[in-house]
Amino acid sequence: MGRLKGKTAVLTGGAKGIGAVAARLFGKEGAQIAILDYVGIAGEETARQLHGEGIEVAFFQVDVADRESVHAAAAQVLAHFNKVDILVNNAGITKDALLVKMDPADFQRVIDVNMTGVFHCTQAFLPAMLAQGKGKIINTSSIAGTGGNVGQTNYAASKAGIIGMTRTWAKEYGRKGINVNAVAPGFIETEMIHTIPAKVMEQIRLMTPFTRLGKPEDIANAYLFLASDEADFVNGTVLEVDGGMLK
């Protein structure tokens, strides 16, 4: 029996990268999957692939920074699956620059997607979880949110904000049967790191005791644990998955 058998899971940013890997893993563990993503073509292709693997899945195009878009998608998800047991707020973007060179529009867009998007999605799906008296919310932070990172004022601020929201919601809704936790990935082999120069990436590898970057599967497995019944007494936690990267 799968660890998520009978559950319905919503994954934002599920079209590719960590989100797509997590969607496949959750599906293989028995969950029905709702993929939410801004990128329509990639989202439809991922859903098609997962369906071909025997996973019950549906794709919903949404801009998590747009409140109306999020609530419309939530209504569609609930109409399609009738319930939501797990919400993984995985969607995120970067627009890096040193502080003095950062465009205010780039600062705001990262905040809007990475942090305000988590607020919108959680507000949209939480009522369904409260109605059934149980649910798992997993928010994606970052080691940039716990320790900062050069050139990422906007990203670090958004990911630090997610930690604050996670711990607040854990206190507000734990008594209602809702577990709220965060995962803070280190440097993971996804498209997001492709803009980092090779020389810098080598330094990053050497800062990690395992001397390698993380893989999307490493983060997906952390999501799976927090989404499962095994984590029923884990609440308000930030799980750092960074290979023990030296701070």
Gap between the Cα atoms of 128 and 135, Å rounded? 9
Sheet holding 32-37, edge to edge: 57-61, 32-37, 8-12, 86-89, 135-140, 178-185, 238-241
Using only the alpha carbons of the chain, give its radius of gyration.
17
Residues 6+ apart with CB under 8 A from 243: 186, 208, 209, 210, 212, 214
Nearest residue to 219 via CA among 18, 67, 82, 84: 18
Strand partners, 214: 188
With contact defined as beta carbons under 8 Å apart, do 166 and 139 qualify?
A: yes
Closest CA to 137 of 151, 149, 147, 126: 126
The DSSP call for residue 63 is -
Active-site choice (38, 155, 173, 223): 155
3-class DSSP state of 233: coil
Whether residue 223 lies in the annotated active site: no
Strand residues in the chain grouped as ranges (E): 8-12, 32-37, 57-61, 86-89, 135-140, 178-185, 238-241
Q: Which residues are catalytic?
A: 155
